Amino acid sequence: MNYEGSQAPRVSKCSAEFNECDMSQLPFRVNELPQIRTTYDPAALQELAVSLDGGAESPHLRQVNPIQVNEFDDVGKLQAYLDEYRVFYNGDGHTVAIPDSSELERRPDGTWRILIAGHRRCRAMRIVADKYGYALRESDVRIDVYHNLPFADAVSLQGRENEHREVDPAEAANDIARHYYYFQHKHDGRAPTQKELVLLTGYSADRVSKALRYHSLPNELKDYYTSGQLPFNIVAQLRSLYDAEYSYRTQKYPRQAVECSDELSRDALHQTAGFANELAALKSKGFGADMLREKLSAKMKSLEVVQDELFMLEETPVEYRTRTRRRHVDVMAQQLGAEIDTPPETWSPALRKFIAKAAVRAAEIDQAVIQRAEDDARVAAGSMAQVMFT
């Protein structure tokens, strides 16, 4: 799958010199550019090196899967590839250094080779070569050579290989987000559907969904995963909690939502981080992911209930609402319903809202005058009800 419908590449397989895996570490002529994976588990690399180890008597590597490279014989096509590479890796606001064609190492035959897939294998082979003291160029390395492969096809090939490797979920999320922004770039700002992202990246729909939620989180919340305090899936779900906290505040304070939305965002972030701290404390005590999900789900449901009730209470302190709303509204509803001979369940939302506000105001007034406040609220609400029902 590609972004512009390019035809399938011509592929040739061979056993040949594998000239450079990592420009900064390995003395070969295959150029390595930034890619999806940025971290490598040292223990896993050692295990892979053992599986590749052919022994000290022979530099032959017991390699099953070939390394994949993209070979260019035209500098214009190479530079176009690098330009697209730069757009892809910097499209989400990050700054990743991508070299120009003049900075890449060229092979003796005048071509350039860029590593597409096999970064882990390169590092593992280097371990084997160092172990026996021979240059990697002396070993037999299997490679697949793609000729002038367009960038979109190469990055898709790279992503599909990593889907079957243990790529860190945060790195996979960054990769999926890059595909998202790159798609927008290629389609005049149109965002891709989830199905299109699945086809482009090779990741499952569930993984794409979680990745986008995680990637859109403020860094302060992402840190709960990168620091090891919470599992990736739990942190990804904090996006929904953060959105709910922010939505609650915009409904509760509509004026502030227009005039100082940044303040509401910070408040929502603070509340979400506070709850994340509670989850992290539970995890540190040995509670599993299922318990954390239950706690998060319960928190979400409580916010949904609160938002459902906001139509009755605008700009009302939370402590007064939760402590007094039901008691005052219920009492006033019964009294007013008896006086106007109209059951409360038939009242309009506007009338309920008016009564609720009056009840909360009454709760905020000193106890010495609360009775008078309730009487005043009752009279005002009764007058409004008579107008509405006549």
The CA-based dihedral angle spanning residues 201, 206, 212, 218, taken in that order and rounded to the nearest 10 degrees? -140
Beta strands in the chain (DSSP E): 11-16, 30-31, 67-72, 112-117, 141-147
The DSSP 8-state label assigned to residue 190 in this structure reads: P
Can you tell me the mean pLDDT for 137-141? 66
Q: Yes or no: say if 72 and 63 are a contact pair by the CB < 8 Å rule.
A: no
Indicate whether 138 pLDDT > 80. no
- Cβ neighbors of 270 (< 8 A, separation 6 or more) are none
Q: What is the pLDDT of residue 11?
A: 35
Please tell me which residue, 318 or 75, carries the higher pLDDT value: 75
pLDDT tens sequence across 358-373: 655 555 544 445 555 5
Q: Yes or no: say if 19 and 114 are a contact pair by the CB < 8 Å rule.
A: no
Q: What is the pLDDT of residue 7?
A: 34
Can you tell me the mean pLDDT for 66-71? 85
- Identify the weakest region by mean pLDDT among 20-24, 246-250, 351-355: 20-24
Q: Yes or no: say if 207 and 71 are a contact pair by the CB < 8 Å rule.
A: no
Q: What is the pLDDT of residue 214?
A: 93
CA distance 79 to 2: 19
- Identify the weakest region by mean pLDDT among 84-93, 175-184, 317-326: 317-326
Indicate whether 157 pLDDT > 90. no
Q: What is the pLDDT of residue 235?
A: 95
Q: What is the pLDDT of residue 144?
A: 82
